[in-house]
Every structure is written in structure tokens, then in C-alpha cells.
Amino acid sequence: MPNIVVLVKQVPDTYSERRLNDGDHTLDRDSADAVLDEINERAVEEALQIKEAHDGEVTVLCLGPDRATDAIRKALSMGADKAIHVLDDAVHGSDMLQTAKILAAAIGTVEDVDLVIAGNEASDGSGGAIPAMLAELLGYPQLTHAREVTIDGTAVKVTRETEEGLTHLEASLPAVVSVAEKINEPRYPSFKGIMAAKKKPVETLGIDDLGLDAGDVGLDSAWSTVLEAAPKPPREAGQRVEDDGEGGARIAEYLVAQKLI
Amino acid sequence: MAEVLVLVDHLDGEVKKVTHELLTAARAIGEPSAVVVGAPGDAAKLKESLASYGAAKVYVAESEDAAAYLVTPKVDVLAALVEAKSPAAVLVAAGAEGKEVSGRLAARIGGALLVDAVGVETSGDEVVVTKSVFGGAFVVKTKALKGLPVISVRPGGLEAEPAQGAAAEEAVEVPAVDSAKATRITGREPVVGGDRPELTEASVVVSGGRGVGSAESFEVVEKLADALGAAVGASRAAVDSGYYPPQFQVGQTGKTVSPQLYIALGISGAIQHRAGMQTSKTIIAVNKDPEAPIFEIADYGVVGDLFKVAPQLTEEALKRKG
């Protein structure tokens, strides 16, 4: 009966234009449509599949502003049992290490956790390190970038897929697992699921509730700072020619002139 | 000069290209010390290559466990070296594993994590890191406010320059593994990409999109790639249509590449694809549709049939190779 915590994050839709705030260079969350990050849907799906095979309970954990409730509801409507929403203005501008510490503290409020499941990399920050950092802070093994997860008693086996190929991993529970793109196809919430989600418990916790000091999180106490941020000057369109039968040769000439071949 | 630790990315007794880029970046802020974590005998095979890119020292942390557990042995070794040597910064490659190593190291030592750098420099006695975010839409300069800078550097993000280093070896211990907290590697299946370079490491990438039309026709992309010594990539549309395997997908949900040369064949250039390749130095596009957004970012574009243009280019490239 694994007790599973799934991390979800609301991100700006990658189909819309994403911006940084002028003042403090944080993400401008209002400029773009907000959605549950696609990889998190796969994390929720994997948690639900494990629950369906082994029983257990799935708790959704989300750190984010008020409107992240939408992302939480989506995960609940897919079938997760309950949710924790860490909601605190003090969090704004937190860096990866602060974020990992807040998440680790929030996971600590759930009793007897066996498995923490996350997406391998969010589409906004693309740090790709939060699951590993959580494993570090919680003292759990990390089985990250999973394309396959098997629970076998108190052991967890994962097939990890990265740019280097496949690696087969094994560790004991409790553990942190992050899922990769190819792990599964997330289900669509059913009408029944959407209705049921409205009644599922969502616990809202602030930084104080987690035993953390508001002075230790957020932009002012971050380990790193942004000195400047500028939209990259858009790439200028270069030459464009119609293929007159010599298009390939023209590209070759261009590449020779640029010393690229 | 201050010592800078560089975690060596290596595979099968060979140093990966990104390690040379890391050593080059390290030289901009201090004196690079290469850190080899691996199985017994690994460092001996890597030493010469590390010396040729300016490694002053090579810390050798070898044991059977170091190669048999995921991520944590590297973190353990780096944390011990940080403690013993008080370096000015730690640099790792921003691949899947390197991002995890740097994240855990920063969490353990209370360091400042600076991810996915495309440039590293000093300003006074501070280390300043340049990175590109949102798939290259923004350029951001960051620095550490407290703690040791732990920096992951994007493969291909900066150019490696050779320099001679002494590569003086020093053996260091691999701390004992705590099996309750560690993840054992029970098997490996490396990517069988044949003789082609790895996508994120390649200096040249040739990608195909929906316009390629079928899995069989991807041969036209592969032939051009092989003529140029390039890696093959694919757009999400091509992957979703089953033309090419997903591990070669370039874009928001796939790999981010920034090669010297990127050739897009039959790719329209949706924002999600551009996010994965628009920091490439030179972009060439071939597409039938003159309105395709890829032409807005291409340095040189040909409006035409890729099945005519690409083979001609392949032939020209082969001629020049001799």
C-alpha cells in the first residue's frame, strides 16, 4: 500500500509567449496562459497506475500562487485522493534550493511516505534538478528520468532514459522517482472525476506551517541573483532564395563562405 | 590562481567534448582541476585529453562503487573536495546527470546553483554566469550571492580552446555508499546511434520535420548528416508521426541543441521547435512553404523541395570532403 506524493507545477503554456518581469527578473506569470505542466500529468498518471496495482493513496503537492488551484484540481480530477497547496507570498522569487527545501518540508507533513513522484524537468525553469535535490534533502534514493517504474515489495526498479541511453536502476523505498516524457499517456479526467475533485480535500499551508522561516525563502534570501535580463534580439532573417535547381549547391557555397564546410 | 573543480564527463574511456568546454570555461575564472569519478583505470585513459585542455590537476576518485551507483558517488567526491580544497567554483556539464549532480551538491554544501550556463566570466572577484532561458528568448546574467558557485554548463554553449596543462594526478577517496540512500545501477544500454555524434554534443545537426513525409524518407536527412559528420534530429511533428525515434526530438519537450550549424529540412519552425534550436550559431532551412516561420530565424533559407535540395547539398559536401 504505497503512500505516494506527486509534485505538480503550474507553468506558462509553452504555446504562449513567455516573459520575465522587468523589475525583479522573475517569471511574469500573468503574461501567459497557465497550465498544469504536461510532464506532471504523466507523474500523476504513474502514481495512479501504481495505486491501482498496489492500493495506497495519492497526495498531490503543489507550490504556487493562488491560481495554481487549477492545476491541483486537474490532478484531483484525474483521480488523486487529496492535495496540499503551499501558498505563501513570501515564496515569490525563490531559487531552486529554496524551492527544494520548501517541497521537502511539505513532504515531511505527509505521514509514512513511500514514494515521491515528480516530472523530470519543468518546461519553464528547465532546471532538471529538483527531484535529485529533494532526494538529497529527504535522504531518499533518487530514481530519475524514468520511462518505466516497477514496485516490488520494498524495492523500486526504474528504467532511466537520458541522452546517454538506458540505465537500469534499483533502490529501496522510500524513494524519489521522476518521470520522463515516454513513461505513459496520461488519462483525461472523466466528468465523474471532475465532479468528485470538487469535494476532495485541499490543505493550504504557509511557510510558517512547514516550520520554515519566511526570511529564508523568496527573492531577498536567494543564493543567487539575476544581474540583468534582456530579451534576446530576435534573430534576423538572413538570405532566402527560391530553389532554381541549384538550391543545394547554393547552400554549399554559403557554408564554404562561412567556413562551415 | 584560484582552483576551479571540473567534473569530467566521460564514457568508455573517452572524455566527452563538453568536458573540454568546461575546462575552457574554468580557465576564465581560475586554474582548472579535473575530477574523474569512475571505475578503477578510467583516469589513466582520460589524462592526456584533460591535459590538452589545460587541466592543472587531475583528482582521481576510482572505485567499483563509484561506477555502480547513480549520481551520489560524484556528489560525495565533489563535496569532499570542496571541503578539502576550498575551490572558487565547481563546474559540471548540464546534461541530465550533471544537472542532478550540481543540484545535489549545492543542496549539500549550501552552494549557489547556477544552471545551464552558456558563458562564465569574472567581474572583480565574483563569478558571473550567462544563461539563456525560455529556449533562448531571454539572455540572463546571474551571480552567486552566498555560498560556493556550483555551475552547470550547457554542452555546446561555449567553444573549447586547447591549452596545455600539467594534469598532475592526485588520488582521492570515494566515500562509502549508504545503500539506503543510494541507487544501484544494475545495467546499461547505451544509445546505439551508430557512428553519429550525440545530438547535444554535435557541432552540426541535421533535422527533419513533417515535410520529410515518412520514416523511409528520413534516409535523405541521414545521408546529409553523415556527409557533414552531423547528428540527426527530428521535430516533434516528425516524432509524433512515427518518422523518427523520440530520443532524437529537438524542441521544448525534447533536446535543446546549440551547434555551430543547424540544418532544418521540412520543418515549419513552430515556437516549440525553435525553443530547442534557436541558439544555434548558423541556421539553414529548406522548406516548400515560403511563409514557414523557420525562415524568420534562418541565416540562409531555400524555398524548395527538400528531396531535391538536400541530396544536392549532400553531394557537394562529399565532394569537398574528397
Write out pLDDT tens, residues B299-317: 999 999 999 999 999 999 9
Determine, yes or no, domain membership for A228.
Answer: no
Question: Pick the residue with more confidence: A122 or B14?
Answer: B14
* pLDDT higher at B166 or A33: B166
Confidence of residue A25 (pLDDT cuts 50, 70, 90): confident
Residue A18 CA to residue A38 CA, distance in Å, equals 16
Contact A5, A116 (CB under 8 A): yes
Closest alpha carbon within chain A to B99: A129
- The runs of H, that is alpha helices, within chain A are 38-54, 69-78, 96-107, 130-138, 191-197, 247-257
- Dihedral angle of Cα B258, B261, B263, B268, to the nearest 10 degrees: 40
pLDDT of B193 over the 70 cut: no
Give the C-alpha separation, B296 to B290, whole Å: 10
Q: Which residue has the higher pLDDT, A181 or B104?
A: B104
pLDDT, residue B7, reads 98
Mutate to test the interface with A, among B10, B109, B133 (most CBs of A within 10 A): B133
Which CATH class, in words, describes the domain spanning B3-184?
A: alpha beta
Residue of chain B whose Cα is closest to the Cα of A182? B246
> Do residue A243 and residue B143 have CB atoms under 8 angstroms apart?
no
To probe the interface with A, which of B10, B11, B18, B99 has the most A CB atoms within 10 Å?
A: B99
Residue A233 domain-assigned? no
Rounded mean pLDDT of chain A? 90
Which of B113, B296, B314 lies at the smallest CB-CB distance from A223? B113
Higher pLDDT, A34 or B264: B264
Exposed, middle or buried: residue A63 (CB in 10 Å: 0-12, 13-18, 19+)? buried
B301–A100 C-beta distance less than 8 A: no
In the chain, the amino acid numbered A228 is E
pLDDT at res. A35: 79
Domain-located, residue A55 = yes
B181 and A141 within 8 Å at the Cβ level: the answer is yes
CATH number (domain holding residue A166)? 3.40.50.620
CATH of span B204-321? 3.40.50.1220
The answer to whether the pTM exceeds 0.95 is: no
Residue A109 lies in a domain: yes
Residue of B nearest to A120 (CA): B96
Residue A233 near residue A109 (C-beta atoms within 8 A): no
Counted domains in chain A: 1
Domain extent, residue A14, equals: 3-221
Taking one residue from A and the other from B, the number of pairs with CB-CB distance under 8 angstroms is 274
Helix (H, G, I), strand (E, B) or coil at A86: strand
Per-residue cell: B21: 568546454
Q: Which of A130, A163, A175 lies closest to B200 in CB terms?
A: A163
Please state, for a pLDDT cut of 70, what percent of chain A lies above it: 94
In whole angstroms, what is the distance from residue B179 CA to residue B168 CA? 33
A114 touches chain B (CB under 8 A): no
Contact flag A129-B144 (C-beta cutoff 8 Å): no
Q: Give yes or no for a contact between B244 and B208, defined as CB atoms under 8 angstroms apart.
A: yes
Interface of A with B in 15-54 (CB under 8 A): 15, 18, 20, 25, 38
pLDDT classification of B197: cutoffs 50, 70, 90:
confident
Of B99, B145, B199, the CB nearest to A223: B145
Whether residue A102 lies inside any domain: the answer is yes
Residue A105, in any domain of the structure: yes
pLDDT band at B192 (very low <50, low <70, confident <90, very high): low
What cell numbers appear for A45 in the block?
498518471
For B7-44, b/e burial (b = at least 16 CB within 10 A) is bbbbeeeebbbbbbbbbbbbbebbbbbbbbbbeeebbe
**Is A38 in Cβ contact with B189 (below 8 Å)?**
no
pLDDT tens string A181-218: 889 999 999 999 999 999 999 999 999 999 999 888 88
Fold agreement (B3-184, B204-321): yes
Residue A124, pLDDT above cutoff 70 = no
For residues B164 and B59, is the Cβ–Cβ distance under 8 A?
A: no
Tell whether A256 lies on the interface with B, counting CB pairs under 8 A. Answer: yes
What value of ipTM does the predicted structure carry? 0.87
Distance of alpha carbon B125 from alpha carbon B146, whole angstroms: 13
Note whether B189 contacts A100, CB cutoff 8 Å. Answer: no
Binding residues of B for FAD: 210, 235-236, 249-253, 266-273, 287
The residues spanned by each domain of chain B are: 3-184, 204-321
Q: Give the residue among A150, A189, A196 at the shortest CA–CA distance from A45.
A: A189
What counts of helices (H) and strands (E) characterise chain A?
A: 6, 13
